[in-house]
Amino acid sequence: MKLTIILSVLVSLWTLNPSYAKPMLSPTDTDAAGANFIVVAVYLGHAPVSKGDQSDNQNLYFAGVDAQYKVESVLKKSNDPIVSKLSLNRTIRVNYAFHDGSACLAPPDFKLDLSKTQSASGKATVGSRAYLPEVNSRWILFLNPTGSFNQFSTYRGDYGRWPVTAENMKKVQSLLQSSSKRKAAK
């Protein structure tokens, strides 16, 4: 009896350990195209990040920072009541995450570096360093509402933020066309 209780406790503790959690599957372009709201937007900046938040790198990796973007063009809009009220030139708040949801744990040496801006590749992280984009840089955002007006999260964190390039714009248009064809076929 005592052995059964001890084993039960050990098994339950083992299953609570986050390092044993299973990661999500990698994000896909097709799933990104399923976002409620896809826009081209200009990065305006972010809410101040306190020294305390900067030092809590594990939490910051998953929580992200509150960024502001100005909507330049709408590529896709759903019938969601929150999304349907959005318009061009509107400033929106977006949770700027540094991950794509696949990781169970933040890299142990992750650090937000506010002294530099994001790499030209569009990646929010380069090695263990994370960067925010240049102010006035243009981004394709795959957005879903968070439940409060004017607040959004990107599809799978940093995967839902693509730099505006001719290649990425062509890719998004192709994804949206494929998505509408699949819906029409159903």
Q: Can you tell me the distance from the alpha carbon of 94 to that of 82, in angstroms, rounded to the nearest whole number? A: 14
Work out how many domains the chain is built from and give that number.
1
Q: Can you tell me the distance from the alpha carbon of 24 to that of 7, in angstroms, rounded to the nearest whole number? A: 29
pTM summary value: 0.76
Is 92 part of a structural domain of the chain? yes
Mean pLDDT for the stretch of residues 43-67 = 78
Q: Can you tell me the distance from the alpha carbon of 162 to that of 150, in angstroms, rounded to the nearest whole number? A: 20
Mean pLDDT for the stretch of residues 54-76 = 84
Is 17 part of a structural domain of the chain? no
Confidence at 23, pLDDT banded by 50, 70, 90: low
Does residue 70 carry a pLDDT above 90? yes
Is 20 part of a structural domain of the chain? no
Is 61 part of a structural domain of the chain? yes
Tell me what the pLDDT averaged over the chain comes to. 76
Is 140 part of a structural domain of the chain? yes
Is 3 part of a structural domain of the chain? no
We report the CATH number of the domain holding residue 118 as 2.40.50.120
| pLDDT tens digit sequence for 102-160 | 777 777 777 777 766 655 455 555 455 667 888 899 999 999 888 777 789 888 888 89
Is 1 part of a structural domain of the chain? no
Q: Which domain holds residue 172?
A: 28-185
